Structure 1
Amino acid sequence: MENGIELSAEKAAAEVQAVLANPRGWTADGRNSFRLVDSGPVDFVVRIATPGTVDRICGRAGLRTRGEVNCSVGEDVVVNLKRWVLGSDQFDGPIGEYRALIVNHEVGHRIGHGHLGCGGPGRPAPAMMQQIDGLHGCEANAWPYDENGTYISGPTVP
């Protein structure tokens, strides 16, 4: 948690941990597992930061977040405080679901997944779709897998 942010680091960590442990999350692939640690070696760190800090961290890797979006760079999964608190107009679900989308999308990049497009009108949007840029006929969705354990996919996009 960036210094000066008035969010509970413990509550945010618990929320991130719950997303990563959800049966519709990345662990459904049978290859990934996640464990919350407070010290020692890590594969990645989820950081919640102000838009300016997100722009700086992500910008070092050549990414333009424009104070609006999140990124995954090196060991850092960087969550924009603005999105954590306000969500997105494109996502009509509750804020907890939007936070799950943020975590799933950026952790998805961290574990090797690229962007996907809408798989068809009325279908759930893939978690790896940039839903903040519009749903293109898909329905807002926070999870990589459906309740039956099927990966929610779509066409590969740059």
Structure 2
Amino acid sequence: MTRRASRRTRATARRRRRRRRNLLLAAFTVLGLGAGGTAVLLHEDESPPRAAEDHPATDPPHTPESVRTTPPAPPSPTIPPAETTPPSARVPVPPNGPGTFRRSQVGGERQGRGPVRTYRVEVEDGIELDPDDVARTVSSILGHRQGWTRDPRYGFQLVASGPADFTVKVATPGTTDRLCYVTTPTSKGNVNCRIGHTVVVNLKLWVLGSPRFDGPIEEYRALVVNHEVGHEIGRGHETCPGPNQPAPAMMQQIKGLLDCVANAWPYDASGRYLAGPPVP
């Protein structure tokens, strides 16, 4: 056989091998069609899929994006805003503190139409509350349309520096007891007070509220501020005016509501003072 004939014979053999290989690939492609008619395509860098019994029930076989027939699952709901879970709701409550305080650096505008009483806000050292956040909360309570500024005789202004007419302090239960001269065993660690020109807010009550107050923690904080600042402006204690009536802000609701309904504000939405009989 000549050299040229030998080359033709080898070329013919190669063409035959290619045709057989293409036929085999076509057959494998047909055999690889699944029940849904989707071809399983294997690339050189892939391994064949495992048998169905090897897949966990929660691990469906991969389907290329180009042939996916159902839309992807919607994204998870976004986390609720921080406001729905107040930061102070997660603040630890140590039983005692050093008795020293850091002052808020936030000031505010005049609130109300009456003569202005200036005040500052302080938080005891070691408490995981931002004094500026507490100051903003107190300011929003005192300037609320159902707060004391509804009465034209009263006005307030938060100051960041200099002297102030009164101070609002947030303190640990032990420091609160010392500042408020609490000696009764059942009252220790469980009261707020106004002593001189200082409103002392018990951290435990600020964070956890009172089991006797049926309402959100934000409302209870408003009650604490309105009640103790009420004493600062000369208001005395009142009691429940009648069954199912709003409890006055100057009622000692921490001791029980009697037949009244928990209420944080001196005035209702229409501007009516929510009064009760004075306590002798």
Q: Give TM-score, length-normalised by structure 1.
A: 0.95
> Does 2:268 align with 1:146?
yes
| CA offsets 1:126-157 (integer angstroms, 9 cap, x no match) | 00000011101100000001111111111111
Distance in 1 between the 2:240 and 2:183 partners? 23
Indicate the residue corresponding to 1:52 in structure 2.
174
Indicate the residue corresponding to 1:131 in structure 2.
253
Please identify runs of 4+ aligned residues in structure 1 that moved more than 4 A.
Answer: 62-65
Distance in 2 between the 1:140 and 1:44 partners? 27
Task: Kindly indicate whether structure 1 or structure 2 has the higher relative contact order, using CA contacts under 8 Å at least 6 residues apart.
Answer: 1
Q: Give TM-score, length-normalised by structure 2.
A: 0.54
Identity of aligned residues (%): 61
How far did 1:85 drift? 0.3
SS in 2 for 1:48: strand
How far did 1:63 drift? 7.6
| CA offsets 1:65-97 (integer angstroms, 9 cap, x no match) | 521010001121000001000001111111000
Structure of greater Rg: 2
| CA offsets 1:31-76 (integer angstroms, 9 cap, x no match) | 11111101122111100000111111111xx786521010001121
Pair 1:18–1:63, CA change in 2 (3 A) = farther
Indicate the residue corresponding to 2:153 in structure 1.
31
Size of the aligned set, in residue pairs, is 156
Which ranges of structure 1 fall in alignment gaps of 5 or more residues? none
Please tell me the root mean square deviation across aligned C-alpha atoms, in Å: 1.2
Distance in 1 between the 2:183 and 2:263 partners? 24
The AA in structure 1 aligned to 2:165 is: D
Indicate the residue corresponding to 1:79 in structure 2.
201
